[in-house]
C-alpha cells in the first residue's frame, strides 16, 4: 500500500500541471516545492518578470515612435509593478491548490531515495509513481561569481531597484538579447558580450537584431569572455583579448542546466539532463520527467504541455498514449523587434530533403502595424511544394509572439495553405496576412 499514487517533485509549469491533472483524475497526489510557491523559475525569476520589464521598454519605444504620445518610465515603479504581478500570480496558484482536494502540497524539497520513495526532511513517503519536475538553474561558471543571474535581477523583491547605469551582459542567447534590448531602452548603457546572437535563427534575423541593438546604442563585443573581476570602481568583464569596464553590474546569461539534485539512480544524458521518451517516461518504468529537467526545450509552455502529457499517460495506466510533438513548439524572443518561429526554417527543410517554397509578407504594408507605429519586419511561411503542407513559419516584428500561435497550430495539425486560406481573420490585425500569404496560388479543391 502506497502513501500516494503520485509524488511530484517541483511546482513549476510541468509540476503543477501534472499534479492538478492527476488530482482531477482522482489520484492522490503529493507535490513538493522548496520555494514554497508555484510557478517555477518562470514566475519567480524568468518569463513573467522579464516580460513585465519588456512591457516597460516597449512603452518607451512606443512613446518614441508615436508623436502624440508623451511619457517616461519610472524604473523603481516598474520593479514594484513586477513584484505585484508576481505576488498576484502566487496567490492565484495558492487558490488552485485549495481547489484540488486530492492534492497535498508541502513547501519543502523532496529527494528520491528509490523509484518508489521520496524523503522530505526526516519523513519518507511511498508512491506508485514519481514525477521529477525540478526544472533548471542558471549557469554561473567558475570565474563568474562576481556577476548576477536572472535570479538576482528578476526575483520577487529584488535588490536591483534602480537601472544599472553601465550594464554588461554576457551571452547572446534569448535571455542576453532580450535583456540588452530591454535595459538599453530603460536607460542603461549596455555592453553585450556575444560571439553571435540567437544561433537558432537565420543569419538574416541575426543581422537584423545586431543592427537594431546597435541603433539602440548597445555595444556588441564579439569576443569570448573568461570571467568577471570585481574592483573598487566596479566590475570588469575579461575576454580573450582584454578587459572591459568598469560596469555597475554584469548579468551572466550563458545558459541553464537541469536541476537533478533531488534524484538518485536516474540515468543522465551528456548535458546532465534526464533523458525521456516522447511520452515523458525515463529509463525507470514508473518515473517521469517533464519540463526543463529533461533538457529538450527549456520553455514554460513546453513544460506545461509535457506535464499534461505526463498526467494523461499515468492516468492511462502507465501507457504512452500521448506523445510530445516538438516540431510544433513555438518560440518567441521578446527583443525589440520580437522574433518568433515554429517548425522548420527554409534552410532546415531543404537540408531534410523537402522540396519547398517560402512566402513572405512585409509587415510594413499591414494596416494594424501602421496604426501601432511598428510598421516593420516580416512574416514568412515555409511550405512543402505540391502538398502545400505548412512546414514552418517565422515572424519578425510587433505581436510576433501572438501571431506565431496560429501558425504553430497549423504546423502541429499538418494543415495546408488551403486550410488557412479559407479562414476569415479579424480586421485590422496582422493575422490577416497569414491568410493573405496562404491565398497566393491556392486552387479551390474539387468537392
Model pLDDT for residues 168-195, shown as the tens digit of each residue: 999 999 999 999 999 999 999 999 999 9
**Max CA-CA distance within the chain?**
77
Is there a single domain that holds both residue 249 and residue 269?
A: no
204 domain residue, yes or no = yes
447 domain residue, yes or no = no
371 domain residue, yes or no = yes
Is there a single domain that holds both residue 126 and residue 231?
A: no
Last residue of a domain, one of 254, 273, 302: 254
444 domain residue, yes or no = no
Is there a single domain that holds both residue 312 and residue 398?
A: no
CATH number reported for the structural domain that contains residue 190 in this entry: 3.50.50.60
d(CA 335, CA 8) in angstroms, rounded, equals: 34
With b meaning 16 or more CB within 10 Å and e meaning fewer, what string describes 143-155? Answer: ebebbbbbebbbb
Is there a single domain that holds both residue 191 and residue 133?
A: no
- The number of helices, as runs of H, and strands, as runs of E, in the chain is 13, 21
C-alpha closest to that of 402 among 445, 444, 372, 422? 372
Is there a single domain that holds both residue 322 and residue 345?
A: no
What's the pLDDT score for residue 437?
A: 93
Is there a single domain that holds both residue 275 and residue 322?
A: yes
Is there a single domain that holds both residue 250 and residue 301?
A: no
Is there a single domain that holds both residue 360 and residue 427?
A: yes
Model pLDDT for residues 355-403, shown as the tens digit of each residue: 999 999 999 999 999 999 999 999 999 999 999 999 999 999 999 999 9
Is there a single domain that holds both residue 345 and residue 302?
A: no
| Other Cβ atoms within 10 Å of 318 Cβ, number | 14
Task: Tell me how far the alpha carbon of residue 84 is from its chain's centroid.
Answer: 21
Integer angstrom CA distances of residue 163 from 42, 96, 240: 22, 35, 28
| 103-106/111-114 β-pairing | unpaired
Model pLDDT for residues 24-56, shown as the tens digit of each residue: 999 999 999 999 999 999 999 999 999 999 999
Can you tell me whether residue 438 is helix, strand or coil? helix
264 domain residue, yes or no = yes
C-alpha closest to that of 47 among 19, 16, 82? 82
142 domain residue, yes or no = no
313 domain residue, yes or no = yes
Last residue of a domain, one of 235, 254, 273: 254
What's the domain count of the chain? 3
Consecutive sets of 10 residues in the chain, 447 residues long: mean pLDDT of each? Answer: 96 98 98 96 96 97 90 94 98 96 96 96 97 96 96 97 98 97 98 95 94 97 96 96 96 96 90 96 96 96 98 97 96 96 95 96 94 94 96 96 96 96 95 93 54
d(CA 4, CA 123) in angstroms, rounded, equals: 14
Is there a single domain that holds both residue 291 and residue 351?
A: no
Is there a single domain that holds both residue 47 and residue 165?
A: no
Task: Tell me how far the alpha carbon of residue 346 is from its chain's centroid.
Answer: 23
143 domain residue, yes or no = no
Its domain, for residue 353, covers 337-438
Is there a single domain that holds both residue 347 and residue 434?
A: yes
**Predicted model pTM:** 0.94
Last residue of a domain, one of 205, 232, 254: 254
Grid cell, residue 192, equals 553585450
CATH number reported for the structural domain that contains residue 386 in this entry: 3.30.390.30
d(CA 60, CA 205) in angstroms, rounded, equals: 23
Amino acid at each position: 500500500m502506497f502513501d500516494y499514487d503520485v509524488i511530484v517533485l517541483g511546482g513549476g509549469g510541468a509540476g503543477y500541471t501534472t499534479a492538478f491533472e492527476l488530482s482531477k483524475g482522482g489520484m492522490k497526489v503529493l507535490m513538493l516545492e522548496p520555494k514554497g510557491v508555484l510557478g517555477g523559475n518562470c514566475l519567480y525569476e524568468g518569463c513573467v518578470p522579464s516580460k513585465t520589464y519588456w512591457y516597460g521598454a516597449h512603452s518607451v519605444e512606443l512613446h518614441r515612435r508615436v508623436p502624440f504620445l508623451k511619457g517616461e518610465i519610472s524604473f523603481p515603479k516598474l520593479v514594484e509593478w513586477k513584484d505585484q504581478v508576481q505576488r498576484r500570480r502566487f496567490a492565484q496558484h495558492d487558490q488552485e491548490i485549495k481547489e484540488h482536494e486530492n492534492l497535498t502540497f508541502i513547501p519543502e524539497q523532496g529527494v528520491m531515495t528509490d523509484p518508489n520513495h521520496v524523503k522530505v526532511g526526516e519523513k519518507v513517503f511511498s508512491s506508485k509513481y514519481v514525477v521529477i519536475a525540478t526544472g533548471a538553474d542558471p549557469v554561473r561558471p567558475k570565474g563568474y561569481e562576481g556577476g548576477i543571474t536572472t535570479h538576482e535581477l528578476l526575483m520577487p523583491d529584488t535588490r536591483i531597484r534602480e537601472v544599472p547605469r553601465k550594464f554588461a551582459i554576457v551571452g547572446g542567447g534569448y535571455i542576453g538579447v532580450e535583456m540588452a534590448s530591454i535595459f538599453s531602452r530603460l536607460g542603461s548603457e549596455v555592453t553585450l558580450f556575444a560571439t553571435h546572437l540567437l544561433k537558432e535563427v537565420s543569419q538574416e534575423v541575426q543581422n537584423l537584431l545586431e543592427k537594431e541593438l546597435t541603433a539602440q546604442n548597445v555595444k556588441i563585443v564579439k569576443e569570448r569572455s573568461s570571467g568577471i573581476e570585481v574592483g573598487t570602481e566596479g566590475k570588469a568583464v575579461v575576454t580573450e583579448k582584454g578587459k572591459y569596464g568598469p560596469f555597475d553590474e554584469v548579468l551572466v546569461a550563458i545558459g541553464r542546466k537541469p536541476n537533478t539534485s533531488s534524484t538518485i539512480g536516474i540515468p543522465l544524458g551528456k548535458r546532465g539532463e534526464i533523458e525521456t521518451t516522447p511520452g515523458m517516461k525515463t529509463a525507470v518504468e514508473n518515473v517521469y520527467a517533464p519540463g526543463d529537467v529533461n533538457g529538450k526545450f527549456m520553455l514554460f509552455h513546453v513544460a506545461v504541455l509535457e506535464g499534461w502529457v505526463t498526467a494523461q499517460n499515468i492516468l492511462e495506466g502507465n501507457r504512452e498514449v500521448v506523445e510530445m510533438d516538438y516540431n510544433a513548439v513555438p518560440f518567441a524572443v521578446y527583443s525589440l523587434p520580437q522574433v518568433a518561429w515554429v517548425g522548420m526554417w527554409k534552410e532546415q527543410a531543404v537540408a531534410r530533403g523537402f522540396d519547398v517554397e517560402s512566402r513572405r509578407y512585409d509587415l510594413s504594408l499591414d494596416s494594424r502595424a501602421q496604426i501601432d507605429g511598428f510598421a516593420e519586419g516580416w512574416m514568412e511561411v515555409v511550405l512543402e511544394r505540391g502538398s502545400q503542407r505548412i512546414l514552418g513559419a517565422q515572424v519578425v516584428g510587433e505581436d510576433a509572439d501572438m501571431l506565431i500561435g496560429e501558425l504553430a497550430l497549423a504546423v502541429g495539425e499538418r494543415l495546408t495553405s488551403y486550410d488557412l486560406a479559407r479562414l476569415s481573420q479579424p480586421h485590422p490585425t496582422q493575422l490577416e496576412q497569414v491568410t493573405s500569404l496562404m491565398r497566393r496560388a491556392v486552387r479551390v479543391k474539387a468537392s
